[in-house]
A and B are shown apart, each in its own frame.
Chain A
Amino acid sequence: MIFKNTQNRFGLIAIVLHWIMALLMIGLTALGLCMVRMPISVQKLQFYGWHKEFGILVLMLVIVRLTWRLRNMNPSLDAIPAWEELAARSVHWAFYFFMFAMPITGWLITSAADLPVSFFGLFTLPNLVAANEANRVFYSEIHAWVGYAFIAVFCMHTAAALKHHFINSDAILRRMLWP
């Protein structure tokens, strides 16, 4: 079956979720770093709007992804040394942490600023906490530092994938490209 994972291969669902979320998170990180440095303008406001709704999309998708992950076998990493397997698995779970922590801390910031998130004009999310300037600053700090940690882990993950593909010439990266 092409959709589900097998002992050695990722299924189509896992692959599609991986790349959609990779694109979203790279885009959100770039947008986030850029928009916070902009002076106030219509463009800045538009960027914040996109950052919030696509961030919430990540939160929705990670719930689907985690459910899929827990109900599926995970392809083995037997071919690599135990420490590499441990490192790879730790990085994967770190990403699940980021995929939840980034949108939730972002939602907390915008709640504390009393600027609720509209999800592509379809509905407006409730505020998680009451408006409070000190809390807004606090959540912003957490969001930023979790974001920097995400960038560090992203670099490790990408470097490892490229190393396996170009230096070890194994199938680690290729099996995430096509089932």
Chain B
Amino acid sequence: MNRHRIMLLLILTASLLLSLLYIPKYNEISGDKEIYRYVGLLMHKGGVPYRDAFDHKPPLIFFLNYAGVLLNGWTQWLIDAGLVLLATFLFFRLGEKYRLPFPWVPPLIFNLMIRDHLLCLGIGMTREYTTVLMVIFFCVLMGKHRFRYFGLGAIGASIFFMQQDQVLQLIPFFLYSFLPATDSLPFGRRLLRVFLGFASVTLPLILYFAWNHALTVAWQDAFLFNFGWYTHTLKESFRDHLIKLKTLMDGGNYEVAVLVTVVLGMCASIFPSSNRKLILLALLAIPLSVAAEFMGGRDIVPNIYRITFTHYILPLAGSIPILLFCAFAFTREPVLSGYRAHAIFSIIAALSLAYTAAQHATHLKSKDVDEVAAAPELPYLLQQRLSDYQFYVFGSINSVYMTNELNVRAPSVWVYQHFWRLYPTWDTDLRLLRSIEQDLLRHRTTYVLDLTSGGDWFSNCAADEEWHGFLRDNYAPVMVNSVLESTLWRKKEVR
């Protein structure tokens, strides 16, 4: 076996080992992921995203989770690990092709960053997939395959229908792919092929929703909603966003890798280079990959010094190794090329991330000890052998985990409700809240897990009164395992 084969084997092994840290048993519970899992479960039971469960993410993540439901979470892990392995393989091959002294360095940094437990929130987040797809996109872009442009369009669409804002980071590379010097193919044909690739993902999705009479609701929830509500919340200043980025990079140990790569990219763009345009475009892709941070604050109060919404910077796991690759592959300046320079900068960039991975690997925490998984209500509910519509969670996105563990459909489309907490102007006429109440009554839902107690959960007092009044009138608290304050409510018997 030659040296490169051994290196490839080692990097693929490293990638697999890092993925193994997130097998279902150790994959942390996160509210967003539980929602995706729930919609996957719902589709398995014949439901349709948006129509039968509200979410504002584009649809691909639900299809992915639908596949995951088939084999108790392991399918999704297999898809996830497989995609990362594929990206690693392609990236390594690209490094070999461009004769990097250490072609395993950019894929290694990609793997360490995407598996950084301080930021990634386990596997299964939308931005994880878009990041992997971004690396595959770049590898396809740099290749010479005859279906290259078709592939670019298909991957671009996959990213768009997984997490819209992440498509921004592709713009510099799409621009590059259309530069006259990149290919001898006429511009029009390139465009047509990209369009065909894009359509190969878009059309099946449109047909699926049209077939299920859910096209309008998909458009409203997955696209319009994000422009209407999610970008009109708390306005943080540009400086606040920068501070938040620094806080996240610092807290997640991305800082060194990002700084080293950006500095190298800047230097490579100044020094003599064989492809300055691509280096500059890769530099531009860095801020675009974290555009999500700048698209409006998700917090109720500014949290710029706290490590929250960490997954917003996960796309750096794709854009940073790509820039590093460009800096190393295309510089003609001796000080940035050659074994010695690559070795020193690579060690600096990877050391902190490797430490984080080692710490994580030696301190794995089982999902079972998570507050939600260990809640006393769950074993109680499992004993009740509930059927669809008999259980509803209100007020905590993480606790949708229980709905998934019980394998039941929620009685309402509104499987999560934090809009009532985030936006004072949300549902001011209480129409949506009352629709939830009607659904609960209609389905004679037996149990409600209410996590809004304390009096300050709702941003609108009227909604607070409405919801708690409804609960008191129709449900009674259930004391589970001597918990002093019960969050579980059971439907009152009708006399």
Q: Do A and B come from one complex?
A: no
**Residues of B at under 8 Å CB distance from A?**
none
**Residues of A at under 8 Å CB distance from B?**
none
